[in-house]
Amino acid sequence: MKTRLTTPGWLLGMLALAQTAAAQTPTPPPRQAAIADLVTANHILANEGVLDGYGHVSIRDPANPQHYLLARAGAPALVTAGDITEYDLDSKPVSNSPAAGYQERFIHGEIYKSRPDVVAVIHCHCLDVIAFAATGVTLKPMYHMGYFLGEGAPVFDIRRTAGITNMLIETPALGQALAQSLGKGSVTLLRGHGAAVVAGALHQAVGKAYYLNINARQQLQALQLGGKIAYLLPEEAARAEQNYERSWDFWKSRLPPLR
Amino acid sequence: MKTRLTTPGWLLGMLALAQTAAAQTPTPPPRQAAIADLVTANHILANEGVLDGYGHVSIRDPANPQHYLLARAGAPALVTAGDITEYDLDSKPVSNSPAAGYQERFIHGEIYKSRPDVVAVIHCHCLDVIAFAATGVTLKPMYHMGYFLGEGAPVFDIRRTAGITNMLIETPALGQALAQSLGKGSVTLLRGHGAAVVAGALHQAVGKAYYLNINARQQLQALQLGGKIAYLLPEEAARAEQNYERSWDFWKSRLPPLR
Amino acid sequence: MKTRLTTPGWLLGMLALAQTAAAQTPTPPPRQAAIADLVTANHILANEGVLDGYGHVSIRDPANPQHYLLARAGAPALVTAGDITEYDLDSKPVSNSPAAGYQERFIHGEIYKSRPDVVAVIHCHCLDVIAFAATGVTLKPMYHMGYFLGEGAPVFDIRRTAGITNMLIETPALGQALAQSLGKGSVTLLRGHGAAVVAGALHQAVGKAYYLNINARQQLQALQLGGKIAYLLPEEAARAEQNYERSWDFWKSRLPPLR
Amino acid sequence: MKTRLTTPGWLLGMLALAQTAAAQTPTPPPRQAAIADLVTANHILANEGVLDGYGHVSIRDPANPQHYLLARAGAPALVTAGDITEYDLDSKPVSNSPAAGYQERFIHGEIYKSRPDVVAVIHCHCLDVIAFAATGVTLKPMYHMGYFLGEGAPVFDIRRTAGITNMLIETPALGQALAQSLGKGSVTLLRGHGAAVVAGALHQAVGKAYYLNINARQQLQALQLGGKIAYLLPEEAARAEQNYERSWDFWKSRLPPLR
């Protein structure tokens, strides 16, 4: 602003303060926004029945691709920002955090190692896929919202890697074996356990986990109807990529008010 | 009102004003009421699980049959009156609206062109019909609430029209092909995608979309029970036409309070 | 209370008033309580998904067995005490009520005529029985909560009585034909339509309608598992009679607060 | 705390009182906490659909292994601390309680007699297992959350013990027969009735009852998909033991606020 008189320094300072105050909703620092989004993802996945008391979701640290952010062990519905812990890709907590981490955090760390393109990882006991994993019937895309199944849906069987276990991916070696099963795709089932789902964005991962179950239900219905099933062709599936942002908005709006 | 004395003009005016004030809930202009009803339809369809984050519903403009009203792109549960946009039947926004429209608005425009009798159009990813569209098993009326299936339930396969695509009806030509599949009926399925449902009234369209899914579930159950299925005869179905007003009242009462 | 002095009349009157005031929740007259219970039954059936926007429930008038009480036409979830209308057994409104009655009230009137033991009648479009009615697979008691299916579950097909119709029981003659199908049992299915359920008490009728659907779901599952199904024997079913009072208490507690 | 002067007795007393007051949430006596947990278990089982108006859950009395705690007869959703009654293992109320007990409390007493390791017992009409009990298809662990099915899932048929009955375990003799069927496992089904589930901890029993139904649904799906089903091997199942604490936390958080 031009003035005939020299603007005193103190006045300029006052004007700067006034401008700052006028920006009523300041943008949160990126890390804080990322953590808030991850907390919301936890709540959405629980509220929509993709996760129950078990399961977890992480994001690659936006500030450091060699780290990832994951809640400490607890039910996803109850996760708060204070639970979010930073891990290196060996799944060791970066801050000397006393809180217990998920036994299966190696699912996340090892996938982030093998997949530089992946920004979010979800582990669910996805109820509708258990039967597919148990019978070896391959999930395929029934409609465009399940497009990512066109990339394949391998089944990881822990027994081939480690013999008789408690079924949990609780070591780096097991996480690596799981990441190998995942390959370059969006999902791998785990026999007798659930699934791991990945994406290049958190909202997209949440959508994939949700529609994985919907697609499984529809495929079972189609197999019950019998006859030839017209799945999406691989080229159709590839073109039908979704970002699921509109679903995210819908699911976020359905979250119960915080108590 | 008769009086012995001549009623002064100013007194008559005062009485008229008093009568108007006494009519405590003035009738909203028709367009405003139509928009409010369309917003409610969006919310009902989301709340009853017919639409999720995706899908949309429109009405022909009550003031101009060459236009239709449809929300701008967004989750149906979150639509407000301010989102309702007016389109011509080529699906161009009438007001120079900067808001993005649904990519698939051509479903609406092209159906309104080919079906002068249609007043409301719904596009859903109706979960229970995907398996029927994929297997070619034809939906038929299981009970009177699914009466409209007596008119037929063709399956539109985008591959026959346009080869390999992303499955979306995102051009006028594709909308025309879909409208051709719909013909004179109430519903056409879309292989690998969902359904389009039409009616001569908005509430009836909402009811058809809802009971389309219920009927599909029941037909799958009947096929699982095996044996001969006694669907409604075409003449029974035609006579069993429903307006679904009572369902509309019920579903409207179930909407959560606005936050 | 004995006193040495004669208790003055006014004092006795005051004591009587005091006693009445002390009875803080006075017992409502029987008719009022019966109507309140009928309204609650409407709400429970809607809230538990037995009825949707359609369907209805009545009770025989506790004061006059030649009359019955039924809401005027409207969604069960929205019924209030003011909607309850008194009908004679020819289903004519007793008070010269201008409100429209359910087209299918003849289901109630004609059953009350043929079944002096029946005190409550429910007509539902019970979603899980439609497939059974369409295929002629007979519903049988899968567990003790479905005990009443041991009495039989005939299917009424309106076409045998009246040829091509709109499927509705909208005349006394059709109501009589339906009552004939019901016979002495608790339930008759209606092909392409739903079911009618009766009991000697309102709460029991509500329980029968609810568990009719549960039992149907379980029977479909059993048929899918294959092999011989060990239904309850008729004598087991007869002994396993339920009054469903505990379910009524549970369902009543789940009703949303009145808005 | 060291001071140069002798701390007066009264001052020490005041400091002790201050410390006690500062412990703001005093630990409730163990019995009170156990009763509160049992009430919560009732509410969780109802809220998650494991129990409806019927069914019950008990714990062995923490103060006396020859007694158990069980609500008096009523819907689980409505149980309060005041309903919890103490019984001996012959299922006689210890306090001369006038309240009616569950007719089937013998399920609890007789299991506590034959199973010193059991601390909690649940009786449910678990909807998803009825078809398995009726067809004799044996439930097996589909995933780690159903690990306990690796111990077996026998079916108790009351007809083999007592001929034609009303299906209820309403005598000690019938309770003993049921406990025999249970053997050393976590669950026994009851033909035409439901299931009994046991565990060494209350939260674990609640988890087993919940996941019993989930596993049953998944097994039915797998049988519908056809082919060989890769259930958890007995050794995998044994290693995959869950305490379900995280599910308990989740389900507790989902309880509606008390009205």
What are D100-144's pLDDT values in tens digits?
899 999 999 999 999 999 999 999 999 999 999 999 999 999 999
Give the residue, C85 or D257, on which the prediction is more confident. Answer: C85
Provide the 3-class DSSP secondary structure of residue C60: strand
Tokens of A122: 């979800």
CA distance C138 to chain B (A): 11
In angstroms, rounded to a whole number, what is the distance separating the alpha carbons of residues D67 and D48?
28
CA-CA distances (angstroms) from residue A205 to A101, A153, A192, A245, D184?
Answer: 21, 15, 22, 11, 43
Residue D5, pLDDT > 50, answer: no
Chain D residue closest in CA terms to A133: D230
Provide the 3-class DSSP secondary structure of residue C115: coil
- Report chain A residues whose CB lies below 8 A from the CB of B225: none
Spatial strand order of the sheet with D84-88 comes to: D84-88, D67-71, D56-60, D120-124, D194-199, D187-190, D155-156
Give the pLDDT score at B10: 63
Window 177-216 of A: residues touching B by CB (8 A cutoff) are: 214
**Alpha-carbon dihedral sign for residues B119, B124, B127, B129:** positive
Share of chain C above pLDDT 90, in %: 85
Give the pLDDT score at D13: 56
Residue D26, pLDDT > 80, answer: no
CA distance C127 to chain B (A): 7
Give the residue, C42 or D99, on which the prediction is more confident. Answer: C42
Place of tokens 């389109």: B87
Give the pLDDT score at D2: 43
Tokens of D16: 């002790």
**Distant-in-sequence contacts of D149-153, Cβ < 8 A, 24+ apart:** D149/D186, D149/D187, D149/D212, D149/D215, D149/D237, D150/D232, D150/D233, D150/D234, D150/D236, D150/D237, D150/D238, D151/D184, D151/D185, D151/D186, D151/D187, D151/D237, D152/D183, D152/D185, D153/D185, D153/D187, D153/D188, D153/D189
Give the pLDDT score at B11: 60
Quick: pLDDT tens for C122-162.
999 999 999 999 999 999 999 999 999 999 999 999 999 99
Tokens of D137: 């298809």
Provide the 3-class DSSP secondary structure of residue A155: strand
Tokens of D243: 């305490």
Give the pLDDT score at D8: 63
For residues B101 and B72, the answer to whether their CB atoms sit within 8 Å is: yes
Residue D226 to residue A135, Cβ atoms within 8 A: yes
Q: Which residues contact B82 (CB under 8 A, 6 or more apart)?
A: none
Mean of pLDDT values over C205-232: 98
Looking at every residue in chain C, the average pLDDT score rounds to 92
Confidence of residue D234 (pLDDT cuts 50, 70, 90): very high
Window 226-245 of B: residues touching A by CB (8 A cutoff) are: none
CA dihedral C42, C45, C47, C50 (to 10 degrees): -140
Residue B97, pLDDT > 80, answer: no
Provide the 3-class DSSP secondary structure of residue D8: coil
Confidence of residue D16 (pLDDT cuts 50, 70, 90): low
In angstroms, rounded to a whole number, what is the distance separating the alpha carbons of residues A75 and D248?
9
Place of tokens 């591959």: B159
Half-sphere CA count of D142, side-chain side, radius 13 A: 27
| Regions of chain A where pLDDT drops below 70 | 1-28, 96, 259
Give the pLDDT score at C8: 63
Place of tokens 């004092």: C11
Q: Which residues of A are catalytic?
A: 104
In angstroms, rounded to a whole number, what is the distance separating the alpha carbons of residues A69 and A202?
12
Give the pLDDT score at B95: 75
Residue B221, pLDDT > 70, answer: yes
Residue D85, pLDDT > 70, answer: yes
Residue C4, pLDDT > 50, answer: no
Confidence of residue B14 (pLDDT cuts 50, 70, 90): low
Give the pLDDT score at B130: 98
Phi, psi torsion values for A109, nearest 5 degrees: -55, -45
Mean of pLDDT values over C103-125: 98
In angstroms, rounded to a whole number, what is the distance separating the alpha carbons of residues C210 and C197?
10
Residue D75 to residue C249, Cβ atoms within 8 A: yes
CA distance B8 to chain A (A): 57
The reply to whether D86 belongs to the active site is no
Confidence of residue D19 (pLDDT cuts 50, 70, 90): low
Helix/strand number for chain D, H first, E second: 9, 7
Q: Partners for D (CB, 8 Å, 3+ pairs)?
A: A, C
Q: Evaluate if pTM is beyond 0.80.
A: yes
In angstroms, rounded to a whole number, what is the distance separating the alpha carbons of residues D91 and D173?
12
Residue from C50, C128, C145 whose CB has the most chain D CBs within 10 Å, to mutate: C145
- Cβ of residue A225 closer than 8 Å to a chain B Cβ: yes
For residues C250 and C209, the answer to whether their CB atoms sit within 8 Å is: no
Tokens of C91: 């289903």
The DSSP letter of residue A110 is H
Confidence of residue C18 (pLDDT cuts 50, 70, 90): low
∠ at Cα C201 (C197, C205), nearest 5°?
A: 25
